[in-house]
A and B are shown apart, each in its own frame.
Chain A
Amino acid sequence: MLIIAIKMLLADKGKYFGIVLGVTLASLVITQQGAIFTGIMSRTFATVTDMGDPDIWVMDTKVQYIDDIKPLQSTALGRVRSVEGVAWAAPLYKGMLRARLDNGEFQNCVVLGLDDATLAGGPPSMIEGELEFLRRSDAVIVDAIGARTRLAQPDGMGGKRPLRVGDTIEINDRRGVVVGICQSMRTFQSQPVVYTTYSRATHFAPRERKLLSFVLVKAMQGVDHKDLCDRIEAASGLAAYTRDQWKWKTVMFYIENTGIPINFGIAVSLGLLIGAVITGFMFYSFIADNIRYLGTLKAMGATDATLMNMVLVQALIVGTIGFGLGAGLASLFGAAVKRSPLAFLIPWQLLVVSGSAVTVICLLAAMLSMRRVMTLEPAMVFKG
């Protein structure tokens, strides 16, 4: 009987494509918008992602997200270090500082000051130069995208060229020499990222009483990270989060305090709604077109369960194809914008979400039509 259902579905090419189109549209919009949303959200904690090494971030209890800097007493570092289970603890300076370019323009940069001794928390990979070069005088390492775009230098011919190793930039009127170019994730506001040592960063930074932004902690082997957070908090009176907790805290801040989720929510809901309406309408009309034949089957003794299975199979087929097409198109879109500044990320969870949404749409469409099949009077087959 399922073969009959499939043949019935494929027979009317127009309706079939219409239904698939509706599902594809919904799946595409959800996946694509969801991927941009996920991409943007993942940029909010780009710094945390890039610093793969520390297991735990320690900060002031009032800090809400990664760019919310509330400096700590320098004594915090020692207090954290002395907590049992801490393998190492390193200071991190993080600040937004103004860099002056050769052409006289100013550009805000995220400046990260790494522990002088260990350089803990360095960039995930170097394109040019080495992290160790930060030990040279005035040394800074700049991220590749920043070097190519916002920190690009005049090339003397009216155009621009990327910032290169050996160039100098001025940060808060202090000289920095580029010793390396690194790979790093684009940040939320797309500012260039400048790595340097902690002590040099504190020179770049405006004079303030306190300059320690975070304490980065590596847990000893076998120590539970959450337990360690609790111990650090108890011992220091500060807030301590595992890397994942810290990412989520940052994301949740943006979700709760910006209009971004609402905007995406609206776009996704619209896509869902339009997709659901097209799918539901086309599917219903497909069933209506075939109601005479479904009625004939019913008269000939097919049970409601059999007929509903047929409808369900039809819905699941269009659902699977539409979802595949939509997700595929979204991935193509992602591949096409890979080199652009657009944030785009399709984690498997997103596919689960869009897959579930498509399933719900198809089930709704099927249920709408099933009602029609259930209430179908088999006696209608005798009507002309």
Chain B
Amino acid sequence: MTTQTHASPSMDLPGGGSLAVRCQGVTKTYGKGDAAVRALRGVDLDVYTGELLMLVGPSGCGKTTLISVIAGVLDHDEGACRVLGEDLRDLSPNKRAAFRARNIGFVFQAFNLIPTLTAAENVSVPLLIQGVGRREAMARSRELLAKVGLGDRTHEMPTRLSGGQQQRVAIARGIVHNPRLLVCDEPTSALDHKTGQRILELLREVAAGTQLSLVVVTHDPRIFEFADRIAEMDDGRVRRIAEGQHHDHSTGRGGFDIAPGDSSPGGKEQA
């Protein structure tokens, strides 16, 4: 827990920005022989530092697999994937765990809060994993919970919170240790539309003015407006990248807008 893996900031771009993630020709096959499933078939994708990138596409196209690789919880087969300047496959399991503990935050569809811990205790977990003392970890967690609007619920058990509140706790847990990359797998699909929008607002809010990069997997076209860029996946590849409404023109990143009512990725879902 004491090993700290500092990512080298060596992924600077000519334009002045930098890359948090660079995937080139990344493949991943689950299983072997007849049962083999080629989940990723050569993914090329960059995630810029400080941006909110949405990953969309039909069910089974490999979104979760891709963010698992990016988050360093799954090994890819071929191609290159550098996260914060590191090729995670080069790291030993312990080094990789330390890398995740330090640099990556997670938000899940099902929240994955530990039901036996209070909201604040849940938020403190990434700090505890890094070896921060319990007292300090709890203090920082309570502070952060106040920022996400749950200052009065720090002692509540997760089951006594609403879905939206639970996801707020989960977001607090995802960023409490100041990670450089936050991966969110369908953070809103267990929530109603309005709550989902608030969650995205919150994500943008906490990332504003920081170097935090967000990769958000979603099916929900109604939250596309919060994206800087939207990467559309299909059949194990990134097919196209679009500028989102939050696209900052000053960066000069090219692209095209997805008009409301455009073919929703959820609509292409295969049975």
Identify the interface centre among B98, B104, B108, B114: most chain A CB within 10 Å of its CB: B114
Q: Which residues of A contact B29 (CB under 8 A)?
A: none
**How far is it, in angstroms, between the C-alpha of A8 and the C-alpha of B115 when the chains are bound?**
8
Q: Which residues of A contact B185 (CB under 8 A)?
A: 382
- Determine if A11 is an interface residue (Cβ-Cβ < 8 Å): yes
Q: Which residues of B contact A1 (CB under 8 A)?
A: 128-129
- Determine if B208 is an interface residue (Cβ-Cβ < 8 Å): no
Question: Given contacts A11-B115, A382-B185, is CB(A299)–CB(B125) below 8 Å?
Answer: no
- Determine if B126 is an interface residue (Cβ-Cβ < 8 Å): yes
Q: Which residues of A contact B106 (CB under 8 A)?
A: 296, 299-300, 381
**How far is it, in angstroms, between the C-alpha of A293 and the C-alpha of B111 when the chains are bound?**
11
CB neighbors of B among A352-384 (8 A)? 377-379, 381-384
- Whether the pair B129, A301 counts as a contact (CB closer than 8 A) is yes
In the complex, the chain B residue whose C-beta lies closest to that of A10 is: B116
Among B71, B98, B114, point to the contact of A296 (Cβ < 8 A).
B114
Q: Which residues of B contact A303 (CB under 8 A)?
A: 1, 93-94, 97-98
- Whether the pair A379, B74 counts as a contact (CB closer than 8 A) is yes
- Determine if A255 is an interface residue (Cβ-Cβ < 8 Å): no
Question: Given contacts A382-B67, A382-B108, is CB(A300)–CB(B116) below 8 Å?
Answer: no
Tally of contact residues, B, Cβ under 8 A: 33
**How far is it, in angstroms, between the C-alpha of A383 and the C-alpha of B112 when the chains are bound?**
11
- Whether the pair A381, B108 counts as a contact (CB closer than 8 A) is yes
**How far is it, in angstroms, between the C-alpha of A39 and the C-alpha of B71 when the chains are bound?**
62
Q: Which residues of B contact A383 (CB under 8 A)?
A: 64
- Determine if A116 is an interface residue (Cβ-Cβ < 8 Å): no
Q: Which residues of A contact B94 (CB under 8 A)?
A: 303-305
Task: Bits for B67-100, please: 1 = Cβ < 8 Å to A, else 0.
Answer: 1100101100000000000000000011001111
Question: Given contacts A7-B117, A382-B108, is CB(A304)–CB(B125) below 8 Å?
Answer: no
- Determine if A302 is an interface residue (Cβ-Cβ < 8 Å): yes
**How far is it, in angstroms, between the C-alpha of A21 and the C-alpha of B100 when the chains are bound?**
39
- Whether the pair A300, B126 counts as a contact (CB closer than 8 A) is yes
**How far is it, in angstroms, between the C-alpha of A3 and the C-alpha of B114 when the chains are bound?**
13
- Whether the pair A296, B112 counts as a contact (CB closer than 8 A) is yes
- Determine if A306 is an interface residue (Cβ-Cβ < 8 Å): yes
**How far is it, in angstroms, between the C-alpha of A379 and the C-alpha of B98 when the chains are bound?**
16
Q: Which residues of B contact A381 (CB under 8 A)?
A: 73, 106, 108, 112
- Whether the pair A300, B74 counts as a contact (CB closer than 8 A) is no
Minimum CB–CB distance for B63 against chain A, Å? 9
- Whether the pair A302, B97 counts as a contact (CB closer than 8 A) is yes
Identify whether the interface residues of A are mostly helix, strand, loop, or mixed: helix
**How far is it, in angstroms, between the C-alpha of A218 and the C-alpha of B248 when the chains are bound?**
102
- Determine if B180 is an interface residue (Cβ-Cβ < 8 Å): no
- Determine if A4 is an interface residue (Cβ-Cβ < 8 Å): yes
Question: Given contacts A297-B129, A301-B126, is CB(A379)–CB(B112) below 8 Å?
Answer: no
- Determine if A292 is an interface residue (Cβ-Cβ < 8 Å): yes
Question: Given contacts A293-B112, A381-B112, is CB(A301)–CB(B74) below 8 Å?
Answer: no
**How far is it, in angstroms, between the C-alpha of A297 and the C-alpha of B112 when the chains are bound?**
10
CB neighbors of A among B32-68 (8 A)? 64, 67-68
**How far is it, in angstroms, between the C-alpha of A382 and the C-alpha of B189 when the chains are bound?**
13
Minimum CB–CB distance for A107 against chain B, Å? 65
Q: Which residues of B contact A379 (CB under 8 A)?
A: 68, 73-74
Q: Which residues of B contact A378 (CB under 8 A)?
A: 73-74
Among B104, B109, B125, B126, point to the contact of A4 (Cβ < 8 A).
B125
**How far is it, in angstroms, between the C-alpha of A378 and the C-alpha of B116 when the chains are bound?**
20
Q: Which residues of B contact A305 (CB under 8 A)?
A: 94
- Determine if B101 is an interface residue (Cβ-Cβ < 8 Å): yes
Minimum CB–CB distance for B43 against chain A, Å? 16
Q: Which residues of A contact B71 (CB under 8 A)?
A: 299
**How far is it, in angstroms, between the C-alpha of A338 and the C-alpha of B110 when the chains are bound?**
58
23 contacts between A and B (CB under 8 A): A1-B129, A4-B116, A4-B117, A296-B108, A297-B125, A297-B129, A298-B73, A298-B97, A300-B100, A301-B97, A301-B99, A301-B101, A303-B94, A306-B1, A377-B74, A378-B74, A379-B73, A381-B106, A381-B108, A381-B112, A382-B64, A382-B68, A384-B110
Given contacts A293-B115, A299-B73, A378-B73, 17 further A-B contacts (CB under 8 A): A4-B117, A293-B112, A296-B114, A299-B100, A299-B106, A300-B104, A301-B102, A301-B126, A301-B129, A302-B97, A302-B101, A302-B129, A303-B98, A304-B93, A306-B129, A379-B68, A379-B74
